[in-house]
Amino acid sequence: MQLKNKMLSMLILPLGILLNQPITQDNSITEPQIWDNPSKIEVIEKYASEYNIDPVLIEKVMLCESSGNPNAINNHEPNNVPSVGIMQFQRKSFDYMSSKMGENLDFYSYHDQIKLATWAISNNMGRNWSCYRKVTGK
């Protein structure tokens, strides 16, 4: 029985990691919690209001890019540079857009990624995200 449980946990744990879902102590996968931190919604609403853009658009782009995971990393980009974070920025793009915005933002902060992406999308830079193109059809 122990061997069966051990083998089962060896299968479930990688599956949970692959699906980016929390694993409970008994190695079962919990239900997805996209909004595990309500402040994500508040951040989107704050900057959508500030930059006069539909918060639903920002939410859709974010969910498409990272499923709402601030720790998401995509190592499979065509240019071999990983995209990181809740809005899936590449470092060079993040730094460029931050300088255009005139702010010194934290690349690893989901708050700053949402702020910058919302600003960028409101300033006609949405096409930098494949999910923006997918969501809007533009």
User: CA-to-CA distance for 115 and 51, rounded, in angstroms?
Assistant: 9
Residues of the chain with CATH 1.10.530.10: 39-136
Helix (H) or strand (E) holding 2: helix 2-18
pLDDT digits (tens, 9 = 90+) for 123-138: 999 999 999 999 999 8
pTM, 2 dp: 0.72
pLDDT at 75: 92
* Residue 54 token pair: 């539909």
Backbone angles phi, psi at 10, to 5 degrees: -65, -30
Cβ proximity of 118 and 47 under 8 Å: yes
Asked if pLDDT for residue 8 goes beyond 80, the answer is no
Domain 39-136 has CATH 3.50.50.60: no
Nearest by Cα to 52 from 106, 121, 133, 127: 121
pLDDT digits (tens, 9 = 90+) for 9-52: 444 444 333 444 443 444 444 444 444 455 888 999 999 999 99
pLDDT at 119: 98
pLDDT digits (tens, 9 = 90+) for 75-117: 988 889 999 999 999 999 999 999 999 999 999 999 999 999 9
Residue 121 CB partners (closer than 8 Å, separation 6+): 51, 53, 57, 58, 61, 129, 132
* Residue 68 token pair: 């709402």
